[in-house]
Structure 1
């Protein structure tokens, strides 16, 4: 039976050094196996997990995050790839910030339209039968500029009919602009009417940023050039404003994955100065809690390899489990199963508490690593052993977890997607999100091979569990607030244990007896 080590040991009964060393050796062997999985194809995914964990940090103020990312963009070598992604985000979320900057760059606009009939027609062909009030985008700018400057540019207008239209005639019948040969007219303006491209009329048509939709890549490249070659004050001001207005989580998720591992480490070192100066100022329930402790106490002594491993076992237990179940990791899966399932038979509470006591004398990074490996080991054992109603309820009773059977047996609760764990959100929020999306996925995604594969995994756990008499429960671990199926239990229980163990890290200089209440 699985021991979750949720209860305090009898006073003074915390195991011995031999038991602690045995557990340390077992976890070191587990670490070696997990690391071989990461190195043999999962490293890029592990780096993504680390970036997601960084995005969970909540203590960074808007102005601090602005400074942090601007320093990243201005660091050497130039971060053009990161800059391009950030500019693209601005175009997508705040296009009106870019429009006025584009309007000031007449040479950029001429370059954009010159020799490109498709762009010309997209932007300038929006004339309307309703007349001036109905003209849109470049068409409106073209008509307004032509009337105001008819003495110098009317002859550049090209008409489709046998003869041209006079300003007086078009003024009384604005819909005549529908007969304008837009392509030839704009080509004439590019060659002979340079004032149009810097005019107020044309600038007005650009201010909402809608022109970006024609070719975002062109403008992204131009803005990155303005940043690094011209050091444009307008562009950097736009970037600063966007960084202040955006959420740290969104910026981290979109930008940090573009960094190589050396650059990511440098970013984390820079991040340190913006974190709370006291450990007790951190949010113990945050997924980034362990990372913030490492950054505050270890500074630049933690390697990228350590951070990748810690992220995998502490934050991404379910995804790591999925990775290990891939066909190419059959050997590693067998080693883990033999190691954990065999050792679990002989485990006892005092041996676990001996390990906890041993952690108090370790460096913070080492202590966090062993706590994370221990909780993931329990996650793995739970996923293997708690597959029926009887086994789950026996586990609850053995570990002092009060429970109530739930009458809810909906497929939504059982059909859990390995990738459905939304980084940074609460488990309860993720379950509600699943309820909203599961029907859509089943209706539209029958041909998706990845969904088919995930469905096979789910049938082997939750759905099969339902058919064999499994169920769902309300548990004392979360105050009976949510119904948990056997497919969800390993993740929930592991999260509960992990939250308890995190308390140990705040009391690393205290006696073990004084810290045991944290579990």
Structure 2
């Protein structure tokens, strides 16, 4: 019998607890030895994805979190670089507004660079939204024609007068853009701080020309000049963007120590829901851990806790792919020893309650390891419908066999006046009746052998469905059907969420 420990303990001491804790600690070290070869980076990615799923962080607090990181020492230039790429991609106008206020600085950007000149000031051929730089150049030249018209270079044999261009503005297409801009760089400095040029930069299209140049430019504005408007743009973006998007793009750039610091800062802001109705919610239980632990311990401990809490299936795959046969055999032996410990209702009580010997984070970790032991064992041992139903009976879980065909039939017989479930079923029956009548009409035109083939195929589908097995369980009020592929993950997570609920109730007394 595999005990899921779903009966609430009476919180008496249990002699087997010390042995269980010792074996779970052995299991932890074996898992880490197997993951060391290539699983650490994947485990880090799992952690970042879990943090991204936390839902109780307000927009104000998410801005605060990332600003604190950006301003912490040593400087987080990798983090800032990634954030600037996000701003350039998602809110280029915000960056454009910063550049437009410093348009004169772009004089050096264009000096000695014909490619940049051509991309920004030509009407065609750059792939940008056409005309921003070209329009700025033509508008400035016409408004200031008394001072700079002679700096314009034309492709034809003779130049164009302002009077002619005023009536035929398309003549500006005959401008030798390269030579004209070089003349303006040399002889018309007021153009680079003009309203015309500044306005052309506000949309942010200029960023496309050389992304790396502007990233470095903004980093200098942030950290060398401490430019107020740049930090205002950064603050606005961090408050407007979704927390999940920020985490997925930014946390991967952090060193492990910085990620630990982020979790400590996160502790002050997370406020998980009172109770989670869905144990499959990947981030909720981790959110509870962060809210309860001001110190999440060493980084390895956090990676492991998240892996066994939320990525049991992926962890098992990783261990099977990375581990040598002897290491996997050792893992199997430890899991078997844990499952062989004589169980009773108090077997998990010392771990769940925590007590003076266990820190909060360690108690959570041990609960997670025990739930992963259940996941591992269920994946290995429960291979048939009979084995699953025996497990349900042994652990006092009420169940109903789920068969969508008989389920529809039962609803059809039930008729009107049933529950919401019956109502949904009756609508399906009506659709099925229409489908059946169409099939009947088609069969009238078919040969007898085709009828037999159709009947055999249907029976095979039913036999296959029956052999795989699917059940409705009392654990979730019979609200969803669970098959053998999903049950190990669902039951192990359900057990973990149940133990944590008991633990929180005990700790809050």
- Is the partner of 1:57 in helix, strand or coil? coil
Query: Is 1:379 matched up with 2:375?
Result: yes
Q: CA distance change for structure 1 residues 389 and 155 in 2, over 3 Å: closer, same or farther?
A: farther
Question: Equivalent residue for 1:215?
Answer: 210
Question: Equivalent residue for 1:91?
Answer: 88
Between the aligned partners of 2:324 and 2:220, the Cα distance in structure 1 is: 45
- Is the partner of 1:175 in helix, strand or coil? helix
- Is the partner of 1:23 in helix, strand or coil? helix
Question: Equivalent residue for 2:441?
Answer: none
Question: Equivalent residue for 1:174?
Answer: 169
Q: Report matched runs for 1:265-414 at 5 Å.
A: 265-276=260-271, 287-300=282-295, 302-341=297-336, 343-344=338-339, 348-350=343-345, 352-354=347-349, 356=351, 359-360=354-355, 362-399=358-395, 400-407=397-404
Q: CA distance change for structure 1 residues 258 and 141 in 2, over 3 Å: closer, same or farther?
A: same
Q: Report matched runs for 1:192-231 at 5 Å.
A: 192-231=187-226
* Among candidates 88, 91, 97, match of residue 100 of structure 1: 97
* Among candidates 250, 258, 272, match of residue 253 of structure 2: 258
Query: Is 1:6 matched up with 2:6?
Result: yes
More deviation in 46-55 or 217-226? Answer: 46-55
Between the aligned partners of 1:150 and 1:54, the Cα distance in structure 2 is: 59
- Is the partner of 2:73 in helix, strand or coil? coil
Between the aligned partners of 1:376 and 1:127, the Cα distance in structure 2 is: 61
Deviation at 1:210, TM superposition (A): 1.8
Report how many residues are paired.
Answer: 445
Question: Equivalent residue for 2:437?
Answer: none
Between the aligned partners of 1:47 and 1:477, the Cα distance in structure 2 is: 32
Q: CA distance change for structure 1 residues 6 and 21 in 2, over 3 Å: closer, same or farther?
A: same
Question: Equivalent residue for 2:484?
Answer: 486
Deviation at 1:316, TM superposition (A): 1.8
TM-score relative to the length of structure 2: 0.78
Deviation at 1:37, TM superposition (A): 2.4
| Kept in 1: contact 2:285–2:497 (CA 8 A) | no
Q: CA distance change for structure 1 residues 347 and 144 in 2, over 3 Å: closer, same or farther?
A: farther
Q: CA distance change for structure 1 residues 391 and 136 in 2, over 3 Å: closer, same or farther?
A: farther
Query: Is 1:507 matched up with 2:502?
Result: no
* Among candidates 475, 493, 496, match of residue 494 of structure 2: 496
* Among candidates 14, 17, 21, match of residue 17 of structure 1: 14
Between the aligned partners of 2:144 and 2:464, the Cα distance in structure 1 is: 77
* CA deviation profile, 1:434-478 (whole Å, cap 9, x unmatched): xxxxxxxxxxxxxxxxxxxxxxxxxxxxxxx96994244444434
Deviation at 1:76, TM superposition (A): 1.0
Deviation at 1:404, TM superposition (A): 3.6
Question: Equivalent residue for 2:179?
Answer: 184
Query: Is 1:60 matched up with 2:64?
Result: no
* CA deviation profile, 1:65-88 (whole Å, cap 9, x unmatched): 222221211111111111111111
Between the aligned partners of 1:482 and 1:191, the Cα distance in structure 2 is: 74
Between the aligned partners of 2:483 and 2:152, the Cα distance in structure 1 is: 71
TM-score relative to the length of structure 1: 0.77
Q: CA RMSD in A?
A: 3.1
* Among candidates 119, 123, 126, match of residue 122 of structure 1: 119
Deviation at 1:325, TM superposition (A): 1.5
Between the aligned partners of 1:406 and 1:217, the Cα distance in structure 2 is: 59
- Is the partner of 2:402 in helix, strand or coil? strand
Between the aligned partners of 2:351 and 2:266, the Cα distance in structure 1 is: 29
* Among candidates 46, 58, 74, match of residue 49 of structure 1: 46
| Kept in 2: contact 1:407–1:472 (CA 8 A) | no
Query: Is 1:40 matched up with 2:37?
Result: yes
Which has the higher Rg, Structure 1 or Structure 2? 2
Between the aligned partners of 1:344 and 1:162, the Cα distance in structure 2 is: 93
| Kept in 2: contact 1:127–1:140 (CA 8 A) | no
